[in-house]
Structure 1
Amino acid sequence: MLNIAVLVSGGGTNLQALIDAQNRGEIPNGKISLVVSSRPDAYALERAQKAGIAAKVLRRKEFAQQTAYDDALLQILAENQTGLVILAGFMTIISERIIHAYENKMINIHPSLIPSFCGEGFYGLRVHEAALARGVKVTGATVHFVNEVCDGGPIILQKAVEIQAGDTPETLQRRVMEQAEWHLLPKAAALFCAGRLQVENGRVNIREAAE
């Protein structure tokens, strides 16, 4: 059973999707055992409390140096014996030191079909504003491993979502969450915890399930 740490900054809707999937038995080889928030007022902390999951608050601005913050985060993850780190709307920059410590053991959800509308500056509603401004007909979400390049890690899963006439950034954001993000993230976690994800030459191979 792998311990999963979920890093959050806001409402925690993707955290809730993971908790719900776990409660339905859809992540049989993993357990969400820790939630780390970058903000003390994040509603995600209440979701963790209601689910009986240990939670910590770690604010970057309370550390004078990046190395001190990294030390604290690494210690928290080590104490939890973390096998998988999930970034679920985590708005604090993850340093290369943390990324290397959890190489191919840290995943992120991004609200577009990478490589479209991703990278520096593309987060939250900005992603959906850009998609609508460009006039694309299809968007979606991507789960990927985290590496040194923003939104540039190996892609694990993607799901397309059609853009509808009259969409606003807010309605599109909600539909992408409901139709893609909340399904992809638990599925990727389950695949990882089952040992079915293999990274080779920058690409993710999904192994067949053992019979």
Structure 2
Amino acid sequence: MSAYRIAVFASGEGSNFQALAEAATAGTLGGAEIALLVCDKPAAPVVHRAERLGIPAFIFKPKDYESREAYEREIVRRLEELQVDLIVLAGYMRLLTPVIVQQYAGRLINIHPSLLPAFPGKDAIGQALAYGVKLSGVTVHFVDEGMDTGPIIAQRALEVISGANAESFANAVHEVERELYPEVVSWFARGLVTLDGRHVTVAGAHGQK
């Protein structure tokens, strides 16, 4: 049986990309492999991570294209050539157009640093702390054409310790992200995820944290 292939889209440091790559190497990604990194910033640290790991990358500058749709059509061509099964957004800082969202509906996921639907969009951690919540956390969700509005696949809560600052809480959130994202990708690779409208079922998920 051929490997389950994922493409990771990232724009920055790439800590979640690294976690996924390490899980693939360790055999804990459900048999999935990273077939491609897609990055819109040639100087991003995630590009160097991919180079060190020997993972192919499509690196582009959006300004070299006439529109978002134009570079997304190029991305789709590359994904199809590699027979990618799942797109995993990991700090990709560009909104996707229907060119990708519709083509990969049900096969496109994102991780967000809050318990959606609370605090969508940018600076979710800062939003949560400013609001004074006692619990926040991490959400993995399907991507649709809205802003962090797709069906929720998994969530993990974190207590907001009194007096926590943005940096310390962000570190705690990112640690959870690096644990949860490979786990969720492994569910997809093993065929455990079912989407019905807004409701997501994970076979044998009673053990989820």
TM-score normalised by L of structure 2: 0.93
Kept in 1, the 8 Å contact 2:115–2:138? The answer is: yes
Matched, 1:185 2:181: yes
Kept in 1, the 8 Å contact 2:73–2:99? The answer is: no
Partner in structure 2 of residue 170 of structure 1: 167
Q: For 1:14-25, what aligned pairs fall within 5 Å after superposition?
A: 14-25=16-27
Unaligned residue ranges in structure 1 (runs of 5+):
none
Could you tell which deviates more after superposition, 19-28 or 104-113? 19-28
Distance in 1 (CA, whole Å) between partners of 2:49 and 2:186 is 20
Match for residue 132 of structure 2 among 117, 131, 135: 135
1:208 Cα deviation from its structure 2 partner: 3.1
Could you tell which deviates more after superposition, 65-74 or 89-98? 65-74
Match for residue 149 of structure 1 among 146, 151, 157: 146
Kept in 1, the 8 Å contact 2:30–2:187? The answer is: no
Identity of aligned residues (%): 37
Kept in 2, the 8 Å contact 1:33–1:53? The answer is: yes
Distance in 2 (CA, whole Å) between partners of 1:96 and 1:174 is 33
| Number of equivalenced pairs | 203
Kept in 2, the 8 Å contact 1:144–1:155? The answer is: yes
Aligned partner of residue 82 in structure 1, secondary structure: coil
TM-score normalised by L of structure 1: 0.92
Distance in 2 (CA, whole Å) between partners of 1:133 and 1:158 is 21
1:29 Cα deviation from its structure 2 partner: 2.4
Aligned partner of residue 101 in structure 1, secondary structure: coil
Deviations 1:66-108 (A, max 9, x none): 3311211111211221111000000011101211100110110
Kept in 1, the 8 Å contact 2:8–2:37? The answer is: yes
Query: Runs of 4+ in structure 1 displaced over 3 angstroms?
Result: none
Kept in 2, the 8 Å contact 1:60–1:92? The answer is: no
Match for residue 32 of structure 1 among 31, 34, 39: 34
Distance in 2 (CA, whole Å) between partners of 1:15 and 1:185 is 10
